[in-house]
Amino acid sequence: MSVKLRKKNLAGGKKSLYLDTFINGQRHYDFLKLYLLKGNDAKTKAANNEKLILAETIRANRESEIQFADHDIIPSFKRNADFVEYFQKLGECKGRSALIWKSVLNHLKEFSGGTVQFKNINELWLERFQKYLLKRITPNTASGHFGKVRLALKLAVRDRIISRHPCDKVDNIKLEDTERQFLTFEEIKQLSVTIPEKETSQQVAKMFLFSCFTGLSFQNLQSL
């Protein structure tokens, strides 16, 4: 485990201060929004020295947070991590259900604007996301999508990114009773050899067959 204070050269001679944290085989970068200015005059040197002292204080605090992680203290750099990015990485490892995770990911990006820190995900945020889903997809599909978010947050607790599951006090989206009609495997095989010649019709037919084997709804496929 190590936390080092580093500098990144910027245009105009400025330098950006950031922390390079290495823990459990993973490296994290945290830019402090502190900048050293170019110049050798007394005023510039004094200002740069103050920023270096502040940056070193932040570095020491970060190191202490990590050292006390065994006492159920979650380091702030983990709570500041991007949930959308974490969710995307989970989805890439889901095999057959990867397309469903991608559909949920697209909704997460649209709802959050592309990013949301773990520390900002609470009961209110989750309830708003539920309402967002219900306005765009069927209740049953929304329930499945929200279930993936719930699972991802559970895994985040396991990975010690957050200390508690924010979904604990959030009700699941209620499923609706639906009357479903099913095709037999032989009927699906027959459809697969009778794909129309028109290009647009071919696309619809292929999407239908794809949904038969994956369980994805037409709305799911449209969002991919």
Query: How many domains would you assign to the chain?
Result: 3
149 and 83 share a domain? Answer: yes
68 and 83 share a domain? Answer: no
Per the listing, tokens 């380091």 go with 75
- pLDDT at position 222, please? 55
- pLDDT at position 206, please? 72
**For residue 168, is it within any domain?**
no
65 and 97 share a domain? Answer: no
Structural domain that includes position 45: 2-73
**For residue 175, is it within any domain?**
no
62 and 97 share a domain? Answer: no
Helices (H), 94-177: 98-112, 123-136, 139-158
CA distances from 168 to 12, 49, 84, 93 (A): 50, 46, 20, 25
Q: Give 180's pLDDT tier (boundaries 50, 70, 90).
A: low
Q: With CA atoms as reference, report the closest residue to 206 among 187, 221, 220, 223.
A: 221
60 and 102 share a domain? Answer: no
68 and 88 share a domain? Answer: no
145 and 191 share a domain? Answer: no
Q: With CA atoms as reference, report the closest residue to 137 among 222, 214, 42.
A: 222
40 and 87 share a domain? Answer: no
To the question of pTM greater than 0.85 for the whole model, the response is: no
17 and 49 share a domain? Answer: yes
From 56, 73, 90, give the residue that closes a domain.
Answer: 73
**For residue 176, is it within any domain?**
no
CA distances from 144 to 38, 148, 168, 208 (A): 54, 7, 17, 20
- pLDDT at position 72, please? 59
**For residue 174, is it within any domain?**
no
**For residue 208, is it within any domain?**
yes
90 and 27 share a domain? Answer: no
At 72-114, the pLDDT tens digits run: 556 667 778 899 999 999 988 877 788 889 999 999 999 999 9
Higher confidence at residue 57 or residue 78? 57
| Contact between residue 115 and residue 85 where contact means Cβ atoms under 8 Å apart | yes
Distance of CA 44 to the CA centre of its chain: 40
Count of other CB atoms within 10 angstroms of residue 101: 21
Higher confidence at residue 178 or residue 47? 47
From 73, 107, 128, give the residue that closes a domain.
Answer: 73
- pLDDT at position 85, please? 93
Region for residue 173 given its phi and psi (left: phi exceeds 0; alpha: psi -120 to 50; beta: otherwise): beta
**For residue 170, is it within any domain?**
no
Q: What is the mean pLDDT of residues 11-20?
A: 93
CA neighbours closer than 13 Å in the CB half-sphere of residue 69: 19
Count of other CB atoms within 10 angstroms of residue 80: 14
